[in-house]
Amino acid sequence: MKERVALAIGQMTRVSLPYPTTWDIQASFGGRPTSLGTLFIQSVTNNRVNGAVNFRGTFIPMQGTWNEATRQIAFDTQFASFVGSLFSKDEPLLNLRHYVLQGNVLMKPPSIRAGERGTWTALTHVRQC
């Protein structure tokens, strides 16, 4: 696991997007959860994100960007465009860091949901050393 941690002013810790990681992802449209799947972030190099998403049993390649300063991610698949922000929370007793990505999704052709907008949330947990 490659994870960079840089200290900010005071007690705050700035955490980067971890990779390679597997995330549970859920997309909702019209306020109702409609899709559960997996997000795999394979690499983050020079602000470029590569990996795949799987909502229906087939991994679909994704490519996007990561902005370290704003902790924002944007990536596209063949069927959708995702934009979101990274949040994290440490759980010292279990020696875990919980990561949450959440934001907006826009479905695009050839999806049968083309033009629909919704929200998405992805979760992963990483053991701290």
At 102-123, the pLDDT tens digits run 999 999 999 988 999 999 999 9
The mean pLDDT value of the chain amounts to: 87
Backbone angles phi, psi at 94, to 5 degrees: -100, 0
What is the model's pTM? 0.84
Per-residue confidence band for 15, with pLDDT thresholds at 50, 70 and 90: low
What is the per-residue pLDDT for 3?
36
- Containing structural domain, residue 84: 5-127
Please tell me the total count of domains within the chain. Answer: 1
Tokens standing for residue 29: 């449209």
**CB neighbour burial string for 66-79, b if at least 16 within 10 angstroms, e if fewer:** beeeebbbebbbeb
Most confident of 9-13, 30-34, 49-53, 111-115: 49-53
Q: Are strands 13-15 and 21-29 parallel, antiparallel or unpaired?
A: unpaired
CATH code where residue 109 lies: 2.40.128.30
pLDDT digits (tens, 9 = 90+) for 37-56: 999 999 999 999 999 999 88
